[in-house]
A and B are shown apart, each in its own frame.
Chain A
Amino acid sequence: MRDRILTAILLVASGYAALAVAPRMNGYRLPGIHQGYAPVQPIAYSHRLHAGELQVACLYCHSAAERSRHAGIPAASICMNCHKQVTASFGAVRQEEELAEKAKRKPRPVVSPELGKLYAALGLNQTLDRDPSLPQKPISWVRVHNLPDFVYFDHRAHVAAGVACQTCHGPVETMERMRQHASLAMGWCVNCHREANRGINGKAVEASIDCGTCHF
């Protein structure tokens, strides 16, 4: 009996200790590995279509990768370089043209629902001109590749060394929705750096595995 009382006291004491500690633990979170993370984006942008089918170069949109540590997400104005003209899929436009021909009327402009979001974000009117009365609202993409804050990654060095985008981002040109391909765990980085020192495409590369390359 007394042993049981003892046990109870011990349990209660450790409970109190946990209570003292637990409230401070909010926000303590393990940096996890999010391989395969493919969040739904505000606009269903397809890398398969753009990078795969249409063969748009990665650096066309992510041009900052050459000059900045961040590859960057293209500004809406970059999208408009093409989507000023292309407002819907080829099929949808064809369909409308056929319908119009049948109905003997002028084809109506077709805007795909996803591109509509882009135009709305830019505050464009029906004729794709800026309408000052419409509010502009930047597109809030969900970041797919998140490194912990204690890791410094710089796209410049990798692009300059000739590392293909796919080496880390995987077969983006086949992804309908962007997905984290690699684990992005430290070992994955380190092993690539080790191999890179043997050269990338025959080009000598200096990929340090010093801790201070990424952590400072």
Chain B
Amino acid sequence: MTRRYFIGYFDHEDDILGVSKAVCKAGFSVADVYAPYALHGLDRAIGLAPSKLPWVCFLLGLLGAAFKVWFEFWTTAQDWPINVGGKPWNSLPAFVPVTFEVMVLCAGLSTVFAFFFVSRLWPGKKPRLLDPAVTDDRFALVLEATDATYDPRLLEGIFQQFHVVRVEERVEERKV
């Protein structure tokens, strides 16, 4: 299947924010924006849903903590109870620090791995480089030409409004 993309390059943060908003307003749906740094308000501008990663963080953190507190209880009080300094078998207060650390570890690592997963990042992945400068000082707005409302002329007009540097159409062969 062939996919057609319409790409506009911009040099300024305000322009990309503005054009994104304008394009959305005009009814286009933005395929993606490429930016050298995170822009505030862009996700709202292009209508990206909030990330669900906090849930991953919360649930896996909770899971890690639960496992760890159970594990500590099991090893100290059940599997092989050993009298340590006359402390009770179930020394729950003493289990808290490690539980907390494991919770943070699980939450943090799982969030990051989930992020890699949802963003499809892995070591050595071949990047979709629109322009080497998008990691330097250039912004790119990508629209996919599948939309019914797709009108290159209208787009060009909006782009011009926001000091577009270059406009490009790209055709990609993609397996579905």
Contacts and interface: CB of A to CB of B under 8 A. Distances in A.
Q: State if A and B touch, Cβ cutoff 8 Å.
A: yes
3 contacts: A190-B80, A209-B80, A211-B82
Contacts of A211: 82
Contacts of B80: 190, 209
Interface string B79-95: 01010000000000000
Contacts, number: 3
Nearest to B82: A211
- Describe B's contact surface by its main secondary structure: loop
A209 B83 CA distance: 11
Interface residues of B, number: 2
B80 to A, nearest CB: 8
Interface of B: 80, 82
Category for how many chain A residues contact B: under 10
A209 B82 CA distance: 9
Nearest to A209: B80
A211 B80 CA distance: 12
A58 B60 CA distance: 58
Contacts of B82: 211
Interface string A184-216: 000000100000000000000000010100000
Contacts of A209: 80
A149 B71 CA distance: 32
B75 to A, nearest CB: 14
Nearest to B81: A209
A209 B80 CA distance: 9
A163 to B, nearest CB: 21
A147 to B, nearest CB: 21
Please list the 3 inter-chain residue pairs (A to B) with the smallest Cβ-Cβ separation, ordered nearest first: A209-B80, A211-B82, A190-B80
A190 B82 CA distance: 13
A209 B81 CA distance: 10
Interface string A93-109: 00000000000000000
A49 to B, nearest CB: 42
A190 B80 CA distance: 10
A164 B63 CA distance: 46
Nearest to A211: B82
A211 B83 CA distance: 11
A97 B122 CA distance: 84
A79 B80 CA distance: 45
